[in-house]
Chain A
Amino acid sequence: MITIEELRNCIHNGLDYIKQQKDVADAEIFASWNEHITVRMNYTSDIPCNGIHEPKSTQTSGIGLFVVFHTGKQTKVAYGSVSQNLTPKGISEAFQKAKKNIIHDPDFISLPVPAGKPLLEKYHDPAVMEISDEAIVDLGWQGLQGALTEYSQQQFTESIIIGGDITIMKERMAIVNTKGIDDFDESTILTTNITSMIEKDKVKGTGWNTSTHISDFNPEEAGRESARSAVKTIGGERISSGTYTVILGRQPVTDLFSNIIIPAVSLSSINASDTPFLKKLGKKIASELLNVYDDGTIRGAVGSKKITCEGIPTGKTGLIYNGLLVGFLANNYLARKLENNLASFIPRNGFRYHTGGRSYAIQPRICPTNIVIEGKEEVDYQALLSKVHNGIYIGRIWYTYPINGLAAGDFTSTIVADSYLIKDGKIDKPLKPNTVRINNNIADILQNIIAVSKDKKQTTVWGSEEVVLAPEIAVEGVKLDNISGFII
């Protein structure tokens, strides 16, 4: 394990060295250490299995060096990185690499400059930093125990599948540049997502839990929740194809935001002309009930960070306000490239997430922190059901993609679990999993929101980096197609 002090010493000594090198106009040094631990669960009551299949971890550390050279009349830039070497030799090696990788990028304007003070300090858990091999394995078994106990109490012992994982991230980074940025950050994240099934009854349930501190982390409850949810949906019914009013539960809301909406409000999509929101800044793109912002400063939320991987303090970036598109997620490079007389962007989302942590090996991309979804007027769960009156509660969707490219806004997905019919403003019978495909355009979904719930929960989906503080959202006019479900 590498300490913050070691990272800071490395970058400070390194900057002194780089500043003395020929033709160097500006430089930025980023150093990081990360450990990504995953404990994968796999329990199958009818197939020989391991219970906890993979307790594993990956450690990375190194230096990433960005250098601006003035050579003749041209400004040139270069990036070099080295792994597992925070010594002076490592800095020198990164610099030699950078010199070899030099390019002329006419769109590069400047390195980031200091921008205020961070709002979040000392938000990591030292106990997580020191967690033992035995303790991480134990967390996995706690998750499994929760689901097994719940199933056993409800008299289900056969045809059970329990899968998912415990993920623990330990991240340390430090950054310095010649424009005055000099800061560091330390974070810990614990998440668990557990999916369980009673396969013969064709039902699946989901449970999840997130925390920045181990004392608040409860994989056992996530396991129990997944089992309870599966049992509740036994005896599901099919529905016919048609247009429905639905409630999107927290997981579908997160899936839609992570895979469709958030990528569409990133400056990288604007830069590539690949978003349905091109030239829509200041215009109505959603129901006036909807407010969305990114906020990396929420204490206890697992997407929070003190500073970005460019050294800028995190903060709140408005994206949708009363249905109007009011902002985009930005990093320093694209904020400066795309700013004009009509729009400017604060680069609060320049992160280097890559293979489990804040990676020295890559330059900053645009990544969300905590996406917060709110309603202009929020309602409780019962009012949400009443608003829908007759329709479908969709609890979990799967494989959500912008099927015709992000710019077209079309998306498709299937409903796989945790879903019910709504009748006369009440939850009625369960919906049979894997029998409905959603085929819609995201513009219609956003415009047709009719209510947003008060209660929110930190939610993540497979393969995405951000956390969504997700409410349940009622939407009308959602097209649902009846599909097979003929095998499983």
Chain B
Amino acid sequence: MLPRRSPIASRIKIIFVDTIKDAVTKVIQQAKSLKDCKYADIRIGIDERKYACAEDGKTRSAGENTPISFGIRVLAGEVSAWGYYGQELGTTESTPKSIYRKLTSGINSAYARAIANARKKAEFRVIAPSLTEVRLARIDIHNDTIHAVFDEDPRNIPSKDITALSTKISHDMRSVSPNIQYTYVDIHTGIHRELFCSTEGACIDQAYTLTQGTIAVVAQKTGGIPETYYDTLGDLRGWEVVKGKNVYQQSLTEFALLRTRETLELIDAEFLPATSEPVVVVTNPHFNALLVHEIIGHPTEIDRALKLETAYAGRSWLLRDLHDNELGKQIASPLITAYSDPTINGYGHYKYDAEGTPAQRVNLIEDGILKGFMNSREHAAILDQPPNGSMRATEPYSVPLVRMTNTVFANGNISPSEIIAEVKDGYYIVNHRIPSISESRENFRISAQKVYRIEDGHITTLYRQGGITSDSKDFLMNIDAVGNDFQIFPIPNCGKGQPMQTMRVGNGGPTLRSKARLAGHQ
């Protein structure tokens, strides 16, 4: 017999975390009684979100969703090894009792994998002596609650308003010119709340708000090559983000129309000719967001440096091995300082990471010298360093990985206009587009939305489909000017891990001047 109706109010919401906190705390403590269980933690999270998307002024989809899932890590066995388990949950598990049952079953699976893994590890140590039991560097144990920050609560924004806004913006973008061939707008807003409990006694209840608008535009003259561009505006805040409280200080409508007009302008521009030798380039903060992401951020994730990503996203040009590496060495111009800081505002903001380690600023490069790596408890123990709180997972059911936070070039003290005015002959590289980085991030090619010629200190000709390519160290060492226009931009789609997790991070910096070869349309 089917029920006649199921009230929306019965659905799980983020306040559900309050009702299950005791059950989660209790179940994780029971893991301690499992034989040879050294450590276990649970992350259980709920995402209360609304979304809409539109193409060419037509609504494509809209809705509200509240996914809930959990992930369990167990460290067990004589030669301790990891076992993991993750699962989505639904309304049938909406009581503390049923949650307790599901989590118990998840712990048992993760434990069985850890024990099987530890047994094999012990067996293989004979032929592979570097196999070592996992140790976790010590951290202070916290019990804390962090509330989501917003001016306008996403839960109070009617879905029809989100739908109407995405449809209107994509319509307005399309109306800019007959040469606009395609427009797309995606908006979502919501609150994510996640509970972290460990056998060490941690219980951290963190919530954050996320509002994001992504736009895509394609412009084409008859018979010409289409010019495409997409970009994202967003922040860990409420609905006020789409009204202008964001890094661009533009409403989503203004942002979308600006990007549309810029794309349109480009279809009349010449293709950028490539050069075989380096030229002077001035890169703007938006471009530098992707640059710092690729050539400093990823290589300073310690799991990558310790070769764990060799089969996927590659190694790090900063660490050949534990004894032969770039730590303490000059890898960039003395003008360059770079750091990763989850305590400041941006897409990489949080108070505790996915292991319950308090967030903190990690100095990566100081005055051109490599100072450190973002790490996890396990990798901190290998390096005999304190953990610095850089582990995150995209979803509660995903395994945490070392991730960039707000990873940036530090601010300088020269105005961007002065930096450009000093250039006799060079190019101004504006806004990032698409990267291609070599295996250890030692070389890059990154395309830009726009490239301008600089002649005698003045910005002149606009070019399309260009970018720059360089060895990473050469580019960093050749930096001879750092601007005072520091900004952090939202990067919503950083891929890492297997299966690949797509993470939001903050990246940015000020205007920089260096040397690189120009790359153009082939």
Q: Is the CB of B522 within 8 A of A52?
A: no
Q: Is the CB of A488 within 8 A of B181?
A: no
> Quick check: is A283 within 8 A (CB to CB) of the other chain?
no
> Quick check: is B30 within 8 A (CB to CB) of the other chain?
no
Which residue of chain B is the closest to A18 with respect to CB atoms? B2
> Quick check: is A110 within 8 A (CB to CB) of the other chain?
no
Q: Of residues B68, B317, B439, which shows the largest number of chain A Cβ atoms within 10 Å of its Cβ?
A: B439
- Report how far A193 CA is from B499 CA in the complex, Å: 12
Q: Is the CB of A100 within 8 A of B308?
A: no
Q: Is the CB of A488 within 8 A of B82?
A: no
Which residue of chain B is the closest to A44 with respect to CB atoms? B307
- Report how far A38 CA is from B90 CA in the complex, Å: 23
- Report how far A101 CA is from B160 CA in the complex, Å: 9
Residues in B neighbouring A30, C-beta threshold 8 A: none
- Report how far A37 CA is from B271 CA in the complex, Å: 46
Residues in A neighbouring B374, C-beta threshold 8 A: none
Q: Is the CB of A403 within 8 A of B124?
A: no
Q: Is the CB of A274 within 8 A of B436?
A: no
Residues in A neighbouring B124, C-beta threshold 8 A: 51, 141, 144-145, 148
Residues in B neighbouring A103, C-beta threshold 8 A: 59-62, 163
- Report how far A83 CA is from B320 CA in the complex, Å: 45
Contact partner, A48, options B120, B132, B320, Cβ 8 Å: B132
> Quick check: is B15 within 8 A (CB to CB) of the other chain?
no
Q: Is the CB of B121 within 8 A of A55?
A: no
Q: Is the CB of A404 within 8 A of B5?
A: no
Q: Is the CB of A100 within 8 A of B63?
A: yes
Smallest distance from the beta carbon of B396 to chain A beta carbons, Å? 10
Q: Is the CB of B382 within 8 A of A414?
A: no
Q: Is the CB of A138 within 8 A of B116?
A: yes
- Report how far A195 CA is from B315 CA in the complex, Å: 12
Encode B391-432 as 1/0 by CB contact (under 8 A) with A. Answer: 000010111000000000000000000000000000000000
State whether A195 and B445 are in contact (beta carbons under 8 Å apart), knowing that A83-B88, A96-B5 are contacts in the complex: no
Q: Is the CB of A485 within 8 A of B181?
A: no
Encode A160-186 as 1/0 by CB contact (under 8 A) with B. Answer: 010111010000000000000000000
State whether A49 and B438 are in contact (beta carbons under 8 Å apart), knowing that A101-B62, A194-B311 are contacts in the complex: no
Q: Is the CB of B307 within 8 A of A487?
A: no
- Report how far A58 CA is from B398 CA in the complex, Å: 8
Which residue of chain A is the closest to B401 with respect to CB atoms? A54
Residues in A neighbouring B16, C-beta threshold 8 A: none
Contact partner, B81, options A52, A164, A363, Cβ 8 Å: A52
> Quick check: is A3 within 8 A (CB to CB) of the other chain?
no
Residues in B neighbouring A85, C-beta threshold 8 A: 90-92
Q: Is the CB of B85 within 8 A of A56?
A: yes
> Quick check: is A62 within 8 A (CB to CB) of the other chain?
yes
- Report how far A439 CA is from B447 CA in the complex, Å: 13
Q: Is the CB of B225 within 8 A of A195?
A: no
> Quick check: is B109 within 8 A (CB to CB) of the other chain?
yes
Q: Is the CB of B308 within 8 A of A53?
A: yes
Q: Is the CB of B499 within 8 A of A484?
A: no
Helix, strand, loop or mixed for chain A's interface?
mixed
- Report how far A50 CA is from B81 CA in the complex, Å: 7
Q: Is the CB of A407 within 8 A of B225?
A: yes
Residues in B neighbouring A409, C-beta threshold 8 A: 522
- Report how far A399 CA is from B225 CA in the complex, Å: 24
Smallest distance from the beta carbon of A167 to chain B beta carbons, Å? 8
Q: Is the CB of B440 within 8 A of A13?
A: no
Residues in A neighbouring B83, C-beta threshold 8 A: 55-56, 133
Q: Is the CB of B128 within 8 A of A45?
A: yes
Stretch at the interface among B192-200, B206-214, B333-341, B465-473: B465-473
Residues in B neighbouring A297, C-beta threshold 8 A: none
> Quick check: is B459 within 8 A (CB to CB) of the other chain?
no
A30-72 CB contacts (< 8 Å) to partner B: 36, 38, 40-62
Which residue of chain A is the closest to B113 with respect to CB atoms? A55
Contact partner, B116, options A57, A92, A133, A405, Cβ 8 Å: A133
> Quick check: is B3 within 8 A (CB to CB) of the other chain?
yes
Residues in B neighbouring A412, C-beta threshold 8 A: 436, 445, 519
Smallest distance from the beta carbon of B37 to chain A beta carbons, Å? 15
> Quick check: is A234 within 8 A (CB to CB) of the other chain?
no
A contacts with B, residue count (CB < 8 A):
115
Which residue of chain A is the closest to B183 with respect to CB atoms? A272
B207-226 CB contacts (< 8 Å) to partner A: 216, 218, 220, 225-226
Residues in B neighbouring A13, C-beta threshold 8 A: 2
- Report how far A167 CA is from B310 CA in the complex, Å: 17
Contact partner, A38, options B226, B498, B519, Cβ 8 Å: B498
Residues in A neighbouring B465, C-beta threshold 8 A: 404-405, 408, 410
Smallest distance from the beta carbon of A427 to chain B beta carbons, Å? 22
> Quick check: is B443 within 8 A (CB to CB) of the other chain?
yes
Residues in A neighbouring B216, C-beta threshold 8 A: 272
Residues in A neighbouring B521, C-beta threshold 8 A: 404, 408, 410, 441
> Quick check: is B492 within 8 A (CB to CB) of the other chain?
no
Residues in B neighbouring A315, C-beta threshold 8 A: none
Residues in A neighbouring B3, C-beta threshold 8 A: 88-89, 92
Q: Is the CB of B311 within 8 A of A193?
A: yes
Q: Is the CB of A84 within 8 A of B89?
A: yes
State whether A199 and B321 are in contact (beta carbons under 8 Å apart), knowing that A412-B436, A437-B438 are contacts in the complex: yes
- Report how far A57 CA is from B218 CA in the complex, Å: 39
> Quick check: is B352 within 8 A (CB to CB) of the other chain?
no
Encode B111-134 as 1/0 by CB contact (under 8 A) with A. Answer: 011101100110010011011101
Contact partner, B218, options A55, A159, A273, A488, Cβ 8 Å: A273
Q: Is the CB of B442 within 8 A of A46?
A: no
Q: Is the CB of A414 within 8 A of B84?
A: no
Q: Is the CB of A40 within 8 A of B228?
A: no
Stretch at the interface among A74-82, A286-294, A375-383: A74-82
Contact partner, B8, options A84, A96, A199, Cβ 8 Å: A96
Q: Is the CB of B312 within 8 A of A49?
A: no
> Quick check: is B437 within 8 A (CB to CB) of the other chain?
yes
Q: Is the CB of B90 within 8 A of A83?
A: yes
State whether A272 and B116 are in contact (beta carbons under 8 Å apart), knowing that A49-B132, A406-B228, A408-B521 are contacts in the complex: no
Contact partner, B59, options A96, A104, A144, A272, Cβ 8 Å: A104
> Quick check: is B58 within 8 A (CB to CB) of the other chain?
yes
B57-94 CB contacts (< 8 Å) to partner A: 58-65, 67-68, 81-93
- Report how far A111 CA is from B322 CA in the complex, Å: 59
Contact partner, A274, options B5, B228, B309, Cβ 8 Å: B228
Which residue of chain B is the closest to A137 with respect to CB atoms? B116
State whether A101 and B63 are in contact (beta carbons under 8 Å apart), knowing that A43-B128, A51-B131, A82-B90 are contacts in the complex: yes
Residues in A neighbouring B175, C-beta threshold 8 A: none
> Quick check: is B462 within 8 A (CB to CB) of the other chain?
no
- Report how far A444 CA is from B124 CA in the complex, Å: 49
Residues in B neighbouring A136, C-beta threshold 8 A: 113
Residues in A neighbouring B322, C-beta threshold 8 A: 46-47
Which residue of chain B is the closest to A278 with respect to CB atoms? B226
Encode B431-462 as 1/0 by CB contact (under 8 A) with A. Answer: 00111111110110101000000000000000
Residues of B at the A interface (CB closer than 8 Å) are 1-8, 10-11, 55, 58-65, 67-68, 81-93, 109, 112-114, 116-117, 120-121, 124, 127-128, 130-132, 134, 159, 163, 181-182, 184, 216, 218, 220, 225-229, 306-315, 317-318, 320-322, 326, 382, 395, 397-399, 433-440, 442-443, 445, 447, 465, 467, 469, 471-474, 495, 498-500, 519, 521-522
A-B contacts besides A100-B8, A483-B438, A487-B442, 17 pairs, CB < 8 Å:
A36-B499, A38-B499, A43-B128, A44-B307, A50-B82, A50-B117, A84-B88, A92-B3, A134-B116, A144-B124, A195-B310, A355-B499, A403-B445, A410-B521, A412-B436, A437-B436, A484-B443
What are 10 A-to-B residue pairs whose CB atoms are below 8 Å? A13-B2, A38-B498, A48-B132, A50-B132, A59-B88, A88-B3, A91-B2, A101-B159, A163-B312, A486-B471
Residues of A at the B interface (CB closer than 8 Å) are 13, 17, 36, 38, 40-62, 79-85, 87-93, 96-97, 100-101, 103-107, 133-134, 136-138, 141, 144-145, 148, 152, 159, 161, 163-165, 167, 193-195, 197, 199, 204, 271-274, 278, 355-356, 361, 363, 398-410, 412-414, 416, 433-434, 437, 439-441, 444, 462-463, 479, 481, 483-488
